[in-house]
Copies of this chain bind each other. A is one copy, B any other.
Amino acid sequence: MSFDVSSDPPVDLPFDLAFDPGQQAIADAVARFCADRFDDDAVKQSTGAVPRDAWQELAGLGVLGVLTPEGEGGLLEAVAAMEALGRAVFPGPLAATFLATRVLADPERSRVAGGSVLVSVGSAGLWPFAEQAGVVLEIDDESVRRVHFASAPTPVDTLGGETWGRAPVVRDADLPDAAAGLVVYRTLLAAQLAAMGRRLVDDASAHAAVRKQFGRPIGDFQAVAHPLADCAMRLDAAATLARAAACYRDAGADAPSRRYAAAAHVSACQAGLDAAHVCHQVFGAVGITLEGPVFHVSRRIRQLASTAPGPDASRRVLTSCMNGEAAQ
């Protein structure tokens, strides 16, 4: 087994964990877009269907097409966008869309990147945003397959507030480049989850710094402060793992990108869920109301952390990395 960075082909750039100016510009632009056009109230109301107008505007900014040849971006650019989208809790099948732009060909790819065609990625008969989706991709173990619904999907309301659908599918074709596609998918899910979790932790910390009980801010109490600190630490690690996966993917280093993407996925699912639980607790009763500052985020974290392929599939990737490489 080896998780040793040095076994990967060295890229002669200076070690640096910050986004480069172009990536940072994407993150900033997306953050501004969300603040201006899709604030917290809009997010809270965005359960159910994908908000097509906002989606279209996001596509118009070039965000959804960043991984296409025309987009000229790499996975790091998509991570930069996704961190901002996650922090703003922007709805819709984001990671699925990026996956599709990686594994589909034109003209469909352009339609997905342009926001006119929505993507559903799922498995085993339960399909996110099924009624709105124009492209359906099934993930089966480590392959990605094009499928279409055999009959109109039955709408299913979900914990995350999204309307999904249940339908049998007809399998069309396995898509090439599935491995790279799954790296994209896992990495971006991880980046999104870590950013959503960190958003919650920052909000809860701000609350804890001013909310007083027993004569002082509740953030003075270690029983409040230390769980928040633990969440922040784990979320930062998960976010960094996602960045690492993207960095190696963009450098063409397949094995490390696969490993880091799988680890980022498992890490972000756990850290995100822990953050959701801790922040419900820190906000107390207000945190369990629908109008409060937690549930519209925590329900989406819970949803993303259960989205197929779940963290168990990523654990299997890690096991094969560990023991496959041990045999070398």
| Distance between A215 CB and nearest chain B CB, rounded to angstroms | 15
A208 to chain B, nearest CB (A): 13
In the bound assembly, the distance between CA atoms of A221 and B223 in angstroms comes to: 9
The residues of B that contact A6 with a CB separation of less than 8 Å are none
Is A212 part of the binding interface, using a Cβ–Cβ cutoff of 8 Å? no
| Assembly CA distance A223 to B222 (angstroms) | 6
Within 8 A of B (CB), among A229-282: none
Chain A interface, >50% SS class: helix
Asked if A211 is at the interface (CB within 8 A of a chain B CB), the reply is no
Q: Please, which residues of chain B bring their CB within 8 A of the CB of A226?
A: 222-223
Q: Tally A residues with Cβ within 8 Å of B.
A: 4
What is the CB-to-nearest-CB distance from A54 to chain B, in angstroms, rounded to a whole number? 43
- Give chain B residues whose Cβ lies under 8 Å from the Cβ of A221: 222
CA distance A226 to B223 in the complex (A): 8
Which B residues are CB-close (under 8 A) to A222?
221-223, 226
A224 nearest in chain B by CB position: B222
A214 to chain B, nearest CB (A): 12
Q: Complex formed: what's the CA distance from A193 to B226 in Å?
A: 29
A222 CA / B227 CA spacing, docked (Å): 11
Q: How far is the CA of A221 from the CA of B220 in the complex (A)?
A: 11
Nearest-neighbour CB distance to chain B for A55, whole angstroms, equals 45
Q: In the complex, what residues of B have CB within 8 A of residue A223's CB?
A: 222-223, 226
Across chains A and B, which 6 residue pairs bring their CB atoms closest together, nearest first? A222-B222, A222-B223, A223-B226, A221-B222, A222-B226, A223-B223
Residues of A within 8 A of B (CB): 221-223, 226
